[in-house]
Structure 1
Amino acid sequence: MQNNKSKMNAQPQPTLALLHWGDLIEDFLDTIGVSFEAFCNEMTGGWMFGYIDALKLAGVRTVLFCISARVTEPQRYTHKPTGATICVLPAPKIYQVVRRPMLNAYGCTVKDVFGDVGGVRRYWCAVLKEVVHHLATPLGLLARELRREGCQAILCQEYEYARFDVCVLLGKLMGLPVFATFQGGDFQLSRLERPLRPLTLQACAGLIVATQTEVQRVQSRYGVPSAKLARIFNPMDVANWHAMDRSEARAALGISLDAQVVVYHGRIEIHRKGLDILLDAWQQVLSERPGRNLRLLLVGTGSDAEKLRQRLAQMQLPGVIWKDEYVRDRTTIRRYLSAADVYTLPSRHEGFPVAPIEAMSCSLPVVAADAPGVPDILEGGEASGGLVVPHGDATALALALGRVLDNETWARELGKLARCRAEECFSLEAIGTSLRDFLISSSQRRSTGTSLQNPLHFIFDRQSD
């Protein structure tokens, strides 16, 4: 009888709906060569699953909603590493019709999207380019599945994207608060976003922004009040992410113990990730240290894999090892990092990158370009375990890498500081609590003065009684 009473008094777990950037989930997975099955069974890390893990520790259940043109009805899966529910919804038919003739739906110009078109057809293509992304979300199906899963709030990956506008509208209709994060999207793909975005940003419940520069941008451009902004870093499973034995890691990769290794892991996008700068810097590092056993380990694949292959063949740089694969297994990534002496991130543009935090968790010093997010991660500079250089500057990158490679004792000290920084600022527990607190406070403000009790506020309050 007592057990039955406790079951009756048990409150439902707060549930958050998480929606990805991009029209279709396959637009992301196809570019990195990952099947949806592997996404469900093997993929870990990154901001998305970091959020899921962190919120889970804070007592919040997350349902990941994905949109796909490869299903015809809603389907449910379980993400094996986190236990989260993944709900896949079919893209609206009108979207699929509009998308079909497009060469690249994310292009900036009509030519990028449709190729060479002229006359009246060019006019209609221009119209379709501006509206296509706002057509990608199946509002009716999403509303039904949100109710079915008992979601009390919606969290979008990016606020500078059409899906955020649509979700804010849906949230208003359903009485649900809508939040969004910043993961690098500080641009707009269509003219339709220009008049809509100021309205939806004012109407949303709150924004989660890790970088100070982006906080300043949304405040100056859109007038978003400080109360709606939370500066919360992307989480990292620091407790279970640490260095492995270096000798074993190097033996597995065929790298000698006397070599000095610089590692980069991430997507292969030459301009965005600054890989052209890295190769130029590496050439300078080698020329200034003749006879040294130096290695540059590149890990990852992406849309520019073939271009990178051609560039490497053209430059004929000694000591470059490239693992052309998208690595889903945490142990494998840790092995690559553990084989290295220093991690580098030469990016021109980032949102809030997780890769350098993974390296810091493995006690690696970091040499990174000052792309958005990096100065926040290495806020204390050397005291945070790394060096920050101007982006796009191969000479500055080469000099910083050289400083670390030329002083192994100092490099080890930087690595210890990096690990401390990761433990203190990016752990799942700390970030999960911050996220949960922001959801509560923002929901409370949103429900003030309205006749409808906000459902997220209600459940959080009942749980804390």
Structure 2
Amino acid sequence: MEDISAVEIIAPNFKRRLSGVTSTIIQLVPIQRALGQKVATLGPGLPADLPHIGYSALLRLWGRPKNRALRVWHARRNVEMLPAIVLRDILRMKLKIVFTSASQRKHSGWSKFLIRRMDAVIATSNRTAAYLEVPSTTIMHGIDTQRFFPGKDKAAVKAVLGLPADKKIAGCFGRVRHQKGTDLFVDSMIGLLPQRPDWIAIVAGRATPTHVSFENELKEKVKRAGLADRILFVGEHTNIPDWYRALDLFIAPQRWEGFGLTPLEAMATKVPVVAADVGAFPELLVTGAEETGILIPANALTEMLEAAAVFMDNPERARLAGERGLARATATFSIQGEASSIGAIYEALLTDTVCG
């Protein structure tokens, strides 16, 4: 438990179930702390080793932290904005409130009401910023390039994971569900693999109880196509960077996405990417002469088949796209860069002593 007097930034997480927002907090806070940002979390659903404060510490927010006139509360959901507004505007605690938005849809009236009362707003992509009706700063998510990096021997990585070292592998990683387009990936592989005996495909990720029947239907479809030994459902793994290092092609088939880190994780592992035009994907990938991947319309099976075939059948183009993707991911999308940019927002608010 952190001493609240030493905490300058509070990162609340008011949702028990693991989500993309929760994952962002889990990954960012240790990096922020390493950069000297005095951040602590608040709420359930987070690892015990993250620095945190208890709800009782909120009673001490009338007092100032050491060497600062106020604190920053960094909300990422409506349920986290509202209590901060109450603490700041009704209880008159010394707080500034930051909100990060990843939404790519029109905000409800309630959300707009809350967002208008923020001291600073961060958008996770330019597409997200276009839906905001207040000034914002775009800070895109980054990835930990100390975890996601290319392997020196792809065949050896495959062998360690129990995958055939002599086969090329196309992968789709993430929750197994309709929204994530897992069925589109499976259907594309059913269409492509019979003509390409040197390729197999893997689906890595968990189907939550609501989506188990969806996953079972996909497995049955694969079985009927006679490809059960070539389209593999490998489940959820904690060593996911190793699975990226085994890939020769990554496909992000989502029908909808708020941001989406998987293309970046693949790029950082020097894997060419085919991605649907959703979330931040068009801002992550480079297409054209310096391509890192191919962007296709959302929910477009034919285009997915064609784009995947381009990389499957042209190893040199795939190699170049992978190399460019690695360079782009490490230069532009490190999580350290994300944390530093957020830290600049914090510092501007911490040195502005006017509250409310």
Identity %: 18
The answer to whether the aligner puts 1:47 opposite 2:38 as a matched pair is: no
Which of 130, 133, 136 is matched with 1:216 structurally?
130
The answer to whether the aligner puts 1:296 opposite 2:201 as a matched pair is: yes
> In the alignment, is the contact (CA less than 8 A) between 1:260 and 1:340 conserved in 2?
yes
> In the alignment, is the contact (CA less than 8 A) between 1:165 and 1:197 conserved in 2?
no
Distance 1:356 1:285 in 2: 21
> What is residue 6 of structure 1 aligned with on the other side?
none
> What is residue 181 of structure 1 aligned with on the other side?
100
Point out the more displaced range, 388-397 or 53-62. Answer: 53-62
Displacement of 1:186: 4.3
Point out the more displaced range, 385-394 or 349-358. Answer: 349-358
1:403–1:384: structure 2 CA closer, same or farther, 3 Å change rule? Answer: closer
Displacement of 1:311: 2.3
> In the alignment, is the contact (CA less than 8 A) between 1:365 and 1:415 conserved in 2?
yes
TM-superposition CA deviations, 1:168-196 (whole Å, max 9, x none): 332333231111212447477xxxx62x3
The answer to whether the aligner puts 1:254 opposite 2:162 as a matched pair is: yes
> In the alignment, is the contact (CA less than 8 A) between 1:205 and 1:443 conserved in 2?
no
Write out aligned runs for 1:153-172 (5 A).
Answer: 153-158=72-77, 161-172=78-89
Which sections of structure 1, spanning at least 5 residues, go unmatched?
1-11, 33-44, 69-75, 90-140, 455-465
Distance 2:170 2:64 in 1: 45
1:333–1:28: structure 2 CA closer, same or farther, 3 Å change rule? Answer: closer
Structure 1 length as normaliser, TM-score?
0.66
1:378–1:187: structure 2 CA closer, same or farther, 3 Å change rule? Answer: same
Write out aligned runs for 1:142-157 (5 A).
Answer: 143-144=58-59, 150=65, 152-157=71-76
Which of 321, 327, 331 is matched with 2:232 structurally?
321
1:398–1:342: structure 2 CA closer, same or farther, 3 Å change rule? Answer: same
> In the alignment, is the contact (CA less than 8 A) between 2:147 and 2:241 conserved in 1?
no
Distance 1:250 1:157 in 2: 38
Distance 1:85 1:381 in 2: 44
1:272–1:338: structure 2 CA closer, same or farther, 3 Å change rule? Answer: same
TM-superposition CA deviations, 1:364-409 (whole Å, max 9, x none): 1111101111111115566351111111001111111110111112
Distance 2:181 2:165 in 1: 28
Paired residue secondary structure (2:318): helix
Distance 1:259 1:436 in 2: 44
Q: Which amino acid aligns with 1:58?
A: L
> In the alignment, is the contact (CA less than 8 A) between 2:8 and 2:71 conserved in 1?
yes
> What is residue 64 of structure 1 aligned with on the other side?
41
Displacement of 1:309: 1.9
> In the alignment, is the contact (CA less than 8 A) between 1:242 and 1:363 conserved in 2?
yes
The answer to whether the aligner puts 1:335 opposite 2:242 as a matched pair is: yes
Distance 2:116 2:289 in 1: 38
Displacement of 1:357: 1.4
Paired residue secondary structure (2:130): helix
Distance 1:420 1:46 in 2: 24
> In the alignment, is the contact (CA less than 8 A) between 1:369 and 1:391 conserved in 2?
yes
> What is residue 41 of structure 1 aligned with on the other side?
none
The answer to whether the aligner puts 1:18 opposite 2:8 as a matched pair is: no
> In the alignment, is the contact (CA less than 8 A) between 2:72 and 2:350 conserved in 1?
no
Larger Rg computed on CA atoms: 1
1:315–1:357: structure 2 CA closer, same or farther, 3 Å change rule? Answer: same
> In the alignment, is the contact (CA less than 8 A) between 1:156 and 1:180 conserved in 2?
yes
Paired residue secondary structure (1:178): strand
The answer to whether the aligner puts 1:266 opposite 2:174 as a matched pair is: yes
1:186–1:168: structure 2 CA closer, same or farther, 3 Å change rule? Answer: farther
Write out aligned runs for 1:57-456 (5 A).
Answer: 57-67=34-44, 78-79=48-49, 84-87=50-53, 141=56, 143-144=58-59, 150=65, 152-158=71-77, 161-172=78-89, 173-184=92-103, 186=105, 194=109, 196-218=110-132, 223-225=133-135, 229-244=136-151, 245-268=153-176, 270-287=177-194, 289=195, 292-303=197-208, 304-316=211-223, 317=225, 318=227, 319-325=230-236, 327-328=237-238, 332-380=239-287, 383=290, 385-443=292-350, 447=353, 450=354
1:395–1:382: structure 2 CA closer, same or farther, 3 Å change rule? Answer: farther
Distance 2:106 2:80 in 1: 14
Distance 1:202 1:354 in 2: 28
Q: For the aligned residues, what is the CA RMSD? A: 2.9
Distance 1:56 1:441 in 2: 18
1:199–1:399: structure 2 CA closer, same or farther, 3 Å change rule? Answer: same
Q: Which structure is higher in helix share?
A: 1
1:400–1:408: structure 2 CA closer, same or farther, 3 Å change rule? Answer: same
TM-superposition CA deviations, 1:109-165 (whole Å, max 9, x none): xxxxxxxxxxxxxxxxxxxxxxxxxxxxxxxx462376799581111223xx33323
Q: Which amino acid aligns with 1:211?
A: S
> In the alignment, is the contact (CA less than 8 A) between 1:348 and 1:371 conserved in 2?
yes
> In the alignment, is the contact (CA less than 8 A) between 2:287 and 2:295 conserved in 1?
no
Paired residue secondary structure (2:116): helix
Count, aligned residues: 338
> In the alignment, is the contact (CA less than 8 A) between 1:243 and 1:361 conserved in 2?
yes
Displacement of 1:234: 1.0
Which sections of structure 2, spanning at least 5 residues, go unmatched?
none
> In the alignment, is the contact (CA less than 8 A) between 1:14 and 1:59 conserved in 2?
no
